[in-house]
Amino acid sequence: MTETAAAAEGRIHEFTTQSGADTIEVGRQLVRLLNPPQLLLLRGELGTGKTTLVKGIVQALDAAEPDEVTSPTFTLLHEYEGVRDGQPIRLYHLDVYRLDSERQLETLGLDDLLTPDALVLVEWGDKFKSIRKRATGEIAIALAGGDARKITVTLKE
Ligand SMILES: Nc1ncnc2c1ncn2[C@@H]1O[C@H](COP(=O)(O)OP(=O)(O)OP(=O)(O)O)[C@@H](O)[C@H]1O
Ligand SMILES: [Mg+2]
């Protein structure tokens, strides 16, 4: 299927932002598109704004304020309990940048996280085949000159 047809079906969404605050706002808007269960790859070079985007998603789910959302660089996994349209949502924010092998990844128990009420967002998840295989979509952030970023959300269905 061409990208245009996929976009017409509402599976591809594009945003351009000019600041971190803008990207947080896009994160807030994204929440309505993300129906659990969902495992999304957060793609983009170091420092493009993956964690910044998660701040908005977490805030829109009433799970925490943006400044309480930090990078799970060393802890690997942060869990938030939120709500959307009265339905509880569990948000898992992972960063697997520092993991080197599928074996290390197994300790995270990814399959156990993906419950029917779960949104799982994985920074650097595209490093691992097992995560790519489970992904229901991706959010890609690309530099677009200065502080600008292009954010492309692709959902498989
Ligand atoms: N348009 C923008 N969108 C997002 N962040 C921006 C933007 N412009 C500037 N920034 C700044 O860029 C930085 C992005 O950092 P962030 O931790 O979100 O990146 P990351 O992609 O998660 O990096 P890493 O791969 O190291 O985890 C923040 O300091 C943010 O304020
Ligand atoms: Mg990050």
Taking residues 15-37, report their average pLDDT. 97
Which ligand gives the minimal distance to the CA of 97? 1
Tokens read off for 105: 């990844």
Task: Give residue 7's pLDDT.
Answer: 72
| Cα–Cα distance, 103 to 140 (Å, whole number) | 26
Q: Whose CA is nearest to atom 25 of ligand 1?
A: 46
Task: Give residue 2's pLDDT.
Answer: 55
Among 15, 22, 51, the mutation site with the greatest number of ligand 1 atoms within 8 A of its Cβ is 51
Confidence of residue 121 (pLDDT cuts 50, 70, 90): very high
Q: Whose CA is nearest to atom 23 of ligand 1?
A: 47
Domain 3-155 part of CATH 3.40.50.300: yes
Q: Where are the domains of the chain?
A: 3-155
Alpha-helical (H) ranges within the chain are 3-8, 20-30, 50-60, 102-106, 110-113, 129-134
